[in-house]
Structure 1
Amino acid sequence: MKKLSAIILSLVIAFSVTACSSGNNEESKPVESKIAETETTESVNIKENMDSVLEHKKFEGIVYLTKDNSVIYQSATGKDEKGNDLKVDSIMYIGSISKQFCSAAILMLRDQGKLSLDNTLDTYYPEYTAGKNITLKNLLSMRSGIPDMVVKTPEAALQVEDVSSDKTEEENVAAIKEWIFKQPLVSEPDTTFEYCNANYFLLSDIVEQVSGENYYDFISKNIFEPLNMTNSGFINDVKNNSEWGLTYDTFVVGEDAIGLTKGAGDMVSNAEDMDKWMTALSSGKIISNESYLEMTTDYSPEISHKYGYGMAGYYNGGWGHSGFIGNYTSFDYINDGYHLFIADNTGYMDIENLPTDLLANVITSPAN
């Protein structure tokens, strides 16, 4: 069985990014850049300032910023995989932003009384000896001590040799679980933060066990359909929807192996759908306000950045997540009625810093 190389970009958050250039064409000009029809001096300044940031940062892709459901700024530059101009409503892979949806699914089941975050993994995997000391909360907060399926080497590789794009979801999922359960922990549970996609892979599997539904069906029925997110789906769906303008051409061999990114980096969406998601998530429409507060609580004060449940702390006290998969990078951000979504298909590596530069033109009083 072959190892899958270069998969690290598909799932890992780069909290300390040093690359400052995406390699985009400096002469690229926006193909679409709009603000509300009634333009005030402030809105014009926001547009000019944000356009200037995107030009300076050499960003090609989609930027969509709203405040209380009104569009403040939107821009689309570059081309999709088929050579057509990107539009604000183009569908993109969103990588690890997918973890928010998995986290919400777990909290949804908890709010329904179907599980407890204090449940240990041996509840769901009796064969997993180390699981008796690892809770669902440890998985959500990246404090489980479980090793990742992805190792950070110069080439980067998936450690599970029995995963393949030629195999079924059931075969791949079984192979990944078998690998996880055989590995020694890298740290004792709840002693330190270790970003690990295996945590959310297991959480998606637990959603299936508790709900009795396929994970993809659960998310579709409980999130996509109620929120009318008609332009959202999963990597698996791309094969069956040519109208989305997406392929696997920017992935390395095997990144599209069904089940591999489950719960951790498996989704596609667009700007409008992501705004619906951020609105519902932060306003008690998907999970309770108390559960959202849990998602946006820092559980690892010993590290330099904040991390909750599938959400990280960013500029001015806002919360969101970045995503990397293939050549796609993405970012979402929620803060006091502001929702920002960014996505590109050029492998833009400064995605963690771009939101701060953009939001400095809108939110002018950073929190202490």
Structure 2
Amino acid sequence: MIIKSIQNRFKKRLWLQRSALFLALTITVSLIISGCSLSSTGQNSEAEDFDLTPPSSQHTPAESKTIQDLSSYLERLSAEDRFSGVVLLAKDGESIFEQAYGYADRDSNAAINLETKFNMASVGKMFTATAIMQLVQEGKLSLDDKLADLIPDYPNQDAADKITVQQLLTHTSGLGDIFTDAYQKSDRSQYQTLDSYLPLFVNEPLQFEPGEKYAYSNAGFIILGLIIEHVAGTDYYQYINENIFEPAGMADTGFYSESDNVANLALGYTNRVMTQGETDDGTRTVAPRLGIGTSAGGVYSTAADMLRFSEALQNYKLIDAERVALLFAGNGIASTEENGVRIVGHSGGNNGVSTNIDIYPDLGYTVIALSNYDEGPKLFNERLRWQLTGNDIPQTMELSDSDLNVLEGQYKTEAQSPGQGKNVITTGPKGTASGQKPTTVTAAEGGLQVSLRGSVHHFVPVSPTEFYDYADPRSRLTFNRDEAGQITGLSVSGGQIRETALKLEK
């Protein structure tokens, strides 16, 4: 069904392209026949009657509304210095919204533009997964192959005898991370090849038996890169350049070392504490550039090039329909569903880096968000997903200051019991859930600012006791009252956080 859906979409796109070509030819012939005159400058004498930018009428009413909402929200985030980067929204391969915000280099006042290159972080795993599928398509390996069969001299034979290619792709291999304490304390300049990362994890015991659990693993994708090198007989970076970037037309994408002087490259800016003893005052500092990048991430690219990659995948320029279906089923590319709509892609993050690509194979949308701040796409991506999958932003109502003030205070959090699907109260010494700070609610900007599990959310009212998270409309905040009308507690549901809390007495 997945393959058929992708094929149907491609046929539809081909029909649209042929229709557009036929229309263009018809208009050209009509102009010639009618004797349309040109001025001496070579411009149409009635050029003022033609708007070459795509009119809003070409969008559906829902798309126009979504684009307007996205544009105004991003402008607000940029004005508050919360977002810096590029956002691109495309429909059937054509951009319908693309805008740049912030600075690529603050010291030189170099503004970000649509061609600025960003560190993609773990979004680069999509290239590695696609390369693996190419080798599967060529019959050079299978997803069921064991690591020991593909890299016979792998140092940890016990692990190699158990781990399959598919388990590496799906983060179920039992391998861990590469960004360990040993990495943080090491000389980063030594990591110039994929096998130079092996000492960081190769002798560590597996976290669990392969296939039993899920645990996100950068180490697993380092090994996938090594598999590509062994099977293809070439350097990983060369393989990706020749078999992914070049066929997809990604001329502005590449692996750059710290010493490379790359034009129009965004420096990362972080407000995280970078060194021991540093004060966390929220000030953004330049994040150090990482090394050349790996098969687990770190390649640099532009929004336009990432759209080219998305289109190359969906039009089978890189792998065939069967392999695209495998990829989109969660083998190296994340797959989720919202409002019954499939979304595939990947996110990435590091200090001064946050990226995300969402592909909607059945609707034709691609959303690319690249930022040189710690938290970029997460500020608006769920709101955009909500709208693109057919939902309206909830209608808000205006509440008085007194209505909001009565909701302010601290709430005792009910912690989730490990392994259970419901919340149970495990009260700590100060009346809060063990290990958690109280949930703090403060009236702000006509709504509520809620400090919840280490992050701050802005909830806006839809009724006197119900609010939605502006950044994630799925998430609803509801307040409970007793028989006397006093606020007794709150609950958060619908989004990524589910929480119940009782109000603490002042």
What is the TM-score with the length of structure 1 in the denominator?
Answer: 0.77
Q: Which residue of the partner structure matches residue 7 of structure 2?
A: none
CA distance in 1, matches of 2:333, 2:313: 12
280 and 95 in structure 1: CA distance in 2 versus 1, 3 angstrom threshold: same
2:141 alignment partner, one of 115, 131, 135:
115
CA distance in 2, matches of 1:365, 1:61: 26
1:74 and 2:106 matched: no
Q: Which residue of the partner structure matches residue 422 of structure 2?
A: none
Q: Which residue of the partner structure matches residue 41 of structure 2?
A: none
Alpha-carbon deviation of 1:243? 1.3
Contact kept, 8 Å, 2:86 with 2:371, in 1: the verdict is yes
Q: Which residue of the partner structure matches residue 149 of structure 1?
A: 178
For residue 322 of structure 2, what is the amino acid of its counterpart?
E
Superposed, 1:210-289 pairs within 5 Å as 210-236=231-257, 239-246=259-266, 256-258=290-292, 261-289=293-321
Q: Which residue of the partner structure matches residue 84 of structure 1?
A: 110
CA distance in 1, matches of 2:315, 2:112: 30
1:319 alignment partner, one of 338, 344, 350:
344
For residue 54 of structure 1, what is the amino acid of its counterpart?
L
CA distance in 1, matches of 2:299, 2:350: 10
CA distance in 2, matches of 1:274, 1:183: 35
80 and 246 in structure 1: CA distance in 2 versus 1, 3 angstrom threshold: closer
Q: Which residue of the partner structure matches residue 6 of structure 1?
A: none
For residue 274 of structure 1, what is the amino acid of its counterpart?
M
Alpha-carbon deviation of 1:242? 2.7
CA distance in 1, matches of 2:99, 2:386: 17
Alpha-carbon deviation of 1:247? 5.1
Count of aligned residue pairs for this structure pair: 310
CA distance in 1, matches of 2:237, 2:214: 28
What is the TM-score with the length of structure 2 in the denominator?
Answer: 0.57
133 and 311 in structure 1: CA distance in 2 versus 1, 3 angstrom threshold: same
Alpha-carbon deviation of 1:358? 1.9
Contact kept, 8 Å, 1:164 with 1:257, in 2: the verdict is no
SS at match of 2:110: coil
Alpha-carbon deviation of 1:311? 2.5
For residue 64 of structure 1, what is the amino acid of its counterpart?
L
Q: Greater CA deviation, 58-67 or 203-212?
A: 58-67
1:354 and 2:380 matched: yes
Q: Give the CA RMSD over aligned residues.
A: 2.6
Q: Greater CA deviation, 125-134 or 208-217?
A: 125-134
CA distance in 2, matches of 1:326, 1:332: 18
CA distance in 1, matches of 2:122, 2:249: 22
1:60 alignment partner, one of 84, 98, 110:
84
CA distance in 1, matches of 2:124, 2:309: 11
Alpha-carbon deviation of 1:282? 2.2
174 and 285 in structure 1: CA distance in 2 versus 1, 3 angstrom threshold: closer
Give aligned-pair identity as a percent.
26
CA distance in 1, matches of 2:307, 2:322: 21
Q: Highest Rg: 1 or 2?
A: 2
Contact kept, 8 Å, 2:268 with 2:373, in 1: the verdict is no
Larger RCO: 1 or 2 (CA < 8 Å, sep 6+) = 1
CA distance in 1, matches of 2:216, 2:369: 22
SS at match of 1:96: helix
SS at match of 2:172: coil
CA distance in 1, matches of 2:365, 2:190: 42
Give deviations 1:202-261, integer Å, cap 9, x for gaps.
Answer: 10111111111111110110111112111101133x6434313345787755x6234xx4
SS at match of 2:296: coil
For residue 188 of structure 2, what is the amino acid of its counterpart?
S
Alpha-carbon deviation of 1:354? 2.1
Contact kept, 8 Å, 2:268 with 2:353, in 1: the verdict is no
Q: Which residue of the partner structure matches residue 159 of structure 2?
A: 130
For residue 314 of structure 2, what is the amino acid of its counterpart?
S
CA distance in 2, matches of 1:230, 1:324: 23
Q: Which residue of the partner structure matches residue 31 of structure 1?
A: none
Contact kept, 8 Å, 2:333 with 2:344, in 1: the verdict is no
Structure 1: any 5+ residue segments left out of the alignment?
1-34, 152-156, 299-307
Q: Which residue of the partner structure matches residue 213 of structure 2?
A: 192
SS at match of 1:265: coil
1:38 and 2:55 matched: yes
Alpha-carbon deviation of 1:363? 3.5
CA distance in 2, matches of 1:161, 1:175: 15
CA distance in 2, matches of 1:325, 1:161: 13
249 and 364 in structure 1: CA distance in 2 versus 1, 3 angstrom threshold: closer
CA distance in 2, matches of 1:145, 1:229: 34
Alpha-carbon deviation of 1:64? 0.3
